[in-house]
Amino acid sequence: MLECVYQYRAPICAALVEENRMELLPRDDNYMVVESLLEALKPFKHITEVMSGEKYTTVSSIKLLLHHLLNIALVIEAKDSAAIKAMKQAMTANLGECYSSPQSDELLGIACFLDPRFKAMQFESHSKRGAIHTDVRAQLVKLLAVDISDQPLEQLVAEAKECQKEEIGEFGDNGWNLPGDPR
């Protein structure tokens, strides 16, 4: 809606002048604030579209998108006005409150790790990726109730693929045919 107001500012101003409602005419600095807001909110529009997808898993992308917001989109820049700086600070604080618990961090990390699109988790530190890998392995061991510490990873992967074929069958060349899957 804000984008439409900015895009159609000339017809809006013309209609207000025609109706003699000069007190409602936006000032130039109002449009400058709207323009900077639109620029700052572009990443949120894209992320909203991604998270609204119905044909693919989205929970695994939350960690990546959150990383993008906190480390790229919401970083305060020298060109930002006071209003934009305040907005970015408030949004950063709000996102921090919502996703700062260790439980949500662990859940989102595991979901991201298990999704083949994001398995590399390049946005995480090496130690954090190792911790998530260790957590997933521990949960797998607990789930299977077997000792796999001496078995090579390749053997474990082969056994898991065999189990998958037996339980759910094959779904094409690359399994689930996820969007963006490079295989």
- Tens-place pLDDT, residues 105-130: 889 999 988 888 887 888 888 998 88
pLDDT of residue 57: 66
Mean pLDDT of all residues belonging to the chain: 80
pLDDT surpassing 50 at residue 169: no
The arithmetic mean of pLDDT across residues 87-114, rounded, is: 91
Rounded Cα–Cα distance for residues 97 and 90 (Å): 11
Summarize pLDDT for 76-86 with one digit per residue, the tens: 999 998 999 99
* Choice among 64-78, 104-118, 148-162 with the minimum mean pLDDT: 148-162
C-alpha distances in Å from residue 23, one per residue of 13, 16, 19, 35: 11, 9, 11, 21
The arithmetic mean of pLDDT across residues 11-24, rounded, is: 89
Higher pLDDT, 163 or 28: 28
Residue-wise DSSP of 33-74: HHHHHHHHHHHHHHHHHHHT-SSS--GGGHHHHHHHIIIIIT
Higher pLDDT, 176 or 85: 85
- Domains of the chain by residue range: 1-52, 55-123
Model pTM above 0.75: no
